[in-house]
């Protein structure tokens, strides 16, 4: 599926630099893309959806969680994992997505990234036809001085894809010792 090239390429740069697993809420074609990265970089991949959208496990690395995201988050800490890439494309509702975002952002490894779909629908029609009101979260995050957010309007249909990068300590994106102070 040619729909997720931005997520695939940005995540492909980040994963090899940082330890951690891959998480997805809202499975489907995106699961195949994330699973390819999981296999390539030998990382655990947790995908959560209320239904089986992938027809079973996609690889040895794939942990399929068929449940609501609220239950997934309740279990999460017992997995003893740290995410380096998180993709949120579940309910498309502002309230749920906000909870999912902050839950995983707090647990994300420094240097990791959160991807969120449907954050910049091309029109009101798109909002009514499926994107929902999750774009309100983008408006909120854009005002937060501690959040580094980038939004691609045309990534994966005209629904918009945002990516939030979690900074390392001292405001850098690289681990200590791997950056230069210019």
Interface residues toward ligand SAM, by CB under 6 A: 25-30, 48-51, 53, 68-69, 89-91
Segments of 14-160 assigned E as strands: 21-25, 45-49, 62-66, 83-88, 113-117, 148-152
Which residue lies nearer to ligand SAM by CB, 8 or 53? 53
Closer residue to ligand SAM in complex, CB, 37/49: 49
Closest approach of ligand SAM to the CB of residue 1, in Å: 7
Whichever of 68 and 82 has its CB closer to ligand SAM, that residue is 68
Q: How far apart are CA 137 and CA 122, in angstroms?
A: 16
How far is Cα 44 from Cα 94, in angstroms, rounded to an integer? 28
**Minimum gap (Å) between residue 61 Cβ and ligand SAM:** 18
Question: Which residue number, 111 or 155, has a Cβ lying nearer to ligand SAM?
Answer: 155
Separation between Cα atoms, residue 86 and residue 151, nearest integer Å: 15
Per-residue tokens: 145 = 């001085």
Supply the minimum distance, in Å, between the C-beta of residue 45 and ligand SAM.
13
């Amino acid at each position: 599926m040619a729909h997720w090239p931005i997520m695939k390429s940005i995540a492909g740069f980040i994963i090899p630099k940082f330890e951690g697993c891959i998480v997805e809420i809202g499975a489907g074609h995106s699961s195949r893309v994330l699973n390819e990265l999981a296999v390539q970089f030998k990382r655990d991949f947790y995908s959560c959806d209320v239904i089986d959208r992938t027809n079973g496990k996609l690889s040895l690395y794939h942990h399929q969680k068929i449940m609501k995201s609220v239950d997934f988050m309740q279990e999460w800490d017992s997995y003893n994992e740290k995410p380096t890439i998180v993709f949120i494309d579940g309910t498309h509702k502002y309230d749920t997505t906000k909870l999912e975002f902050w839950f995983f952002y707090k647990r994300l490894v420094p240097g990791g990234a959160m991807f969120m779909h449907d954050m910049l629908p091309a029109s009101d029609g798109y909002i009514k036809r499926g994107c929902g009101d999750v774009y309100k979260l983008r408006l909120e995050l854009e005002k937060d001085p501690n959040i580094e957010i980038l939004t691609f309007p045309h990534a994966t249909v005209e629904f918009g894809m945002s990516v939030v990068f979690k900074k390392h300590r001292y405001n850098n994106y690289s681990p200590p010792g791997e950056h230069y102070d210019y």
